[in-house]
Structure 1
Amino acid sequence: MRALSVQAPWGLEEIKLVEAPDPAPGPGEVLVRMRAASLNYRDLLMAQGVYTRAPQAAAITPFSDGCGIVEAVGPGVTRVQPGDRVATMFFQNWISGPPTQAKLMSSLGSPIPGVGRELGVFSQDGVSKVPEFLTDQQVATLPCAALTAWRALFEDAALRPGDTVVLQGTGGVSIFGLQFAHAAGLRTLITSSSDEKLARAKALGADHLANYRTDPEWSQAVRAATGGVGADLIIEVGGGGTIEQSVRAIRIGGHIAVVGVVAGPGGGFNTAALIGNSARLQGLSVGSRDMFEAMCRLIELHRIQPVVDKVFPWTEAKAALAAMQAGEHFGKIVLEF
């Protein structure tokens, strides 16, 4: 089979297409022929050598989020059978319950080889069946970005219909957050530097829009939209570059879910403001298989269509990651096998 590989000295130019032996499933394992994979910002950081849980000199097989067809199963497998279409779970060992160190050390891409290969062997516990009405490309978008948005909205924040959610930017997590929040009857405000992207978000159901390029103090738009109260939940994807505005925009007792660092380190923020409004600031990293399957039930019920913006052949992973780095996408970028 063919597989993607990247290692030191790192960088997009170091992503190689290599030949590898066809794997075979052992006890409790399944063999999956990959059909599609989607990109996350984490994948860009990993290719650049900024983020990895593998030994620094070791090569990695990139990408965590895939859709494929089960080709064979090992002894003792009961969850799936050959011919089933499945998604790969971001954390292979996080089935249920709260996160632990062991669960969080089972992520695909690093330290476990990812889905950037024609054939992959996974634990039967690390795959899940998916809604039939979705395309392979759409299924591939679900394991990380969609599940991160789901957990922020419905697992960790105590939201009620009519509450206000702020989504930063128009990448995968934010667009899924918009779609899920709209389906659940939540009021949404989304930020972007592009009026064109804001218009697309409006068409997906966004209630309020804020262009942070023309109005960098977008927390004021949040306050205006909520009658001065502030947002109930902010899904913080920018990190240090945007956290100060999030702290200013959150209501008393509100919840800020920190899920990304795409805006860079920034200059810090005033912790007194966080104390003063009794807000909660929580780091969040994807979720469990139980959460994934609950999310898929909502997707099935509301026939939610994941937004796939760009599709590349999987052998052109370098070009796909360059498009992500340039911020060209609205929703998700997908690789097709």
Structure 2
Amino acid sequence: MAPSTQQQWTVEGKDGFDSLKFTEDAEVPKPGPNEVLIKFHAASLNYRDLIIPKGMYPFGQRDGVVPASDGAGVVDAVGEKVTRFKIGDNVTTLFNAGHLAGALDPISAKTGLGGLVDGALRQYGAYNEQSVVAAPQNLNFMEAATLPCAGLTAWNALYGITGKQLKAGDWVLTQGTGGVSIFALQFAKAAGARVISTTSSAEKTQTLKQLGADHVINYKENPNWGEEAAKIAGGGGVHHILEVGGPTTMAQSLKAIRMEGTISIIGFLGGGKAEKQPTFLDALTNVATIRGLLVGSRLQFEEMNAAIEANNIKPVVDEKVFGLEQAKEAYQYMWDQKHFGKLTIKIA
């Protein structure tokens, strides 16, 4: 039986991390007829979570929202009409609660947890059973909590376009060592693809190679890494690029992509401006598919989880774990780029 009150965080305003407010007596929601009550054991942070309290997020956000899209826990109670889950099941949240299958639409795009819908930085959360996903059986709560945003985004980038899904022997280019890039590296290697990763650190170069990267390019030592990646891939270029840098790295991604390759634009970690930004014409002259994506659907999540179980893929989780009361410190730790892989928060 869940208690009547709980600890939780909310985002009040857009004044930076001081907008994060902690309370110890928030009401525990009661699940409706079609809802399950999740007792959260862990949450993980994404770059999106950091920029929401800073007022930098380009999509919808609601004042007073419980932050963090990514959570994992146990079903603590079920509504009378629930059929998909039972008490005791291990589950995770779904980033866009309304995106169950098929293409994203304007309605489901407005159901993002931690933006417009209350997220996982609390002890309990109630969600429609259709917006909850069974956790992979081979993962613990910390690992499962890393999947809803970064894991699913990487999966969608590699498998989201019919006829252009990743296949064995393809070349994949990942940028940096954030959550999406690490997941893409793991998924690509599990599929028998070849991976080129970029980083700015000799230490991270070794870690990327240990995770299976076939080639690692230090982009500070070689700022023209796009041409280098194309040469490594045999001159024709790479098949899939996960573009997380944004305008500051897109020009090099266009040099690395092969004809009919796919560049999935996922983020803008490098900032929103570049000295010379590529234009729409570059998509034509490179004969490439350039797509923006916003995470993925529940159906894709379930397909990803099946692959995670089949290949025993283990998410890379930063060695430092924060408690729920330390969430603000976790935000700063990640903002200072002290993490490697996914940063997690232990709740229960």
Fold agreement, TM-score > 0.5? yes
Aligned counterpart, 2:140: 135
Aligned counterpart, 2:167: 160
Aligned counterpart, 1:187: 194
Given the alignment of the two structures, is residue 90 of structure 1 paired with residue 99 of structure 2, yes or no? no
Given the alignment of the two structures, is residue 331 of structure 1 paired with residue 337 of structure 2, yes or no? no
Aligned counterpart, 2:3: none
Q: Which letter does structure 2 place at the counterpart of 1:192?
A: T
Counterparts of 1:169-318 in structure 2, within 5 Å, are 169-267=176-274, 268-309=277-318, 310-318=320-328
Query: Which 4+ runs in 1 deviate beyond 4 A?
Result: none
Given the alignment of the two structures, is residue 104 of structure 1 paired with residue 94 of structure 2, yes or no? no
SS in 2 for 1:125: helix
**Is contact 1:248–1:273 with CA below 8 Å preserved after alignment?**
no
Aligned counterpart, 2:149: 144
Q: 1:277 to 1:54 in 2, by over 3 A?
A: closer
- 1:296-335 Cα shifts (integer Å, max 9, x gaps): 0000000001000131112111111112212222210000
Shift of 1:232: 0.7
Whole-Å separation in 2 of the counterparts to 1:110 and 1:272:
33
Given the alignment of the two structures, is residue 34 of structure 1 paired with residue 43 of structure 2, yes or no? no
Q: Which letter does structure 1 place at the counterpart of 2:312?
A: R
Shift of 1:270: 4.8
Given the alignment of the two structures, is residue 80 of structure 1 paired with residue 85 of structure 2, yes or no? yes
**Is contact 1:69–1:85 with CA below 8 Å preserved after alignment?**
yes
Whole-Å separation in 2 of the counterparts to 1:261 and 1:208:
23
Gapped runs of 5+ residues in structure 1?
none
Aligned counterpart, 2:29: 23
Which stretch of the first structure deviates more once superposed, 180-189 or 152-161? Answer: 152-161
Aligned counterpart, 2:120: 115
Q: 1:9 to 1:301 in 2, by over 3 A?
A: closer
- 1:128-184 Cα shifts (integer Å, max 9, x gaps): 111222111000001110000011111223332111000011000000000000000
SS in 2 for 1:210: strand
- 1:62-81 Cα shifts (integer Å, max 9, x gaps): 00000011110112000101
**Is contact 1:29–1:124 with CA below 8 Å preserved after alignment?**
yes
SS in 2 for 1:17: strand
Shift of 1:15: 1.2
Gapped runs of 5+ residues in structure 2?
1-5
- Normalising by structure 2, we get a TM-score of 0.94
- Normalising by structure 1, we get a TM-score of 0.97
- 1:77-113 Cα shifts (integer Å, max 9, x gaps): 0010111110011111111111111111111011101
Q: Which letter does structure 2 place at the counterpart of 1:174?
A: S
Whole-Å separation in 2 of the counterparts to 1:311 and 1:262:
23
Q: Which letter does structure 2 place at the counterpart of 1:145?
A: A
Percent identical:
43
**Is contact 1:242–1:266 with CA below 8 Å preserved after alignment?**
no
- 1:191-236 Cα shifts (integer Å, max 9, x gaps): 1111111110100110010111111111122022012111111000
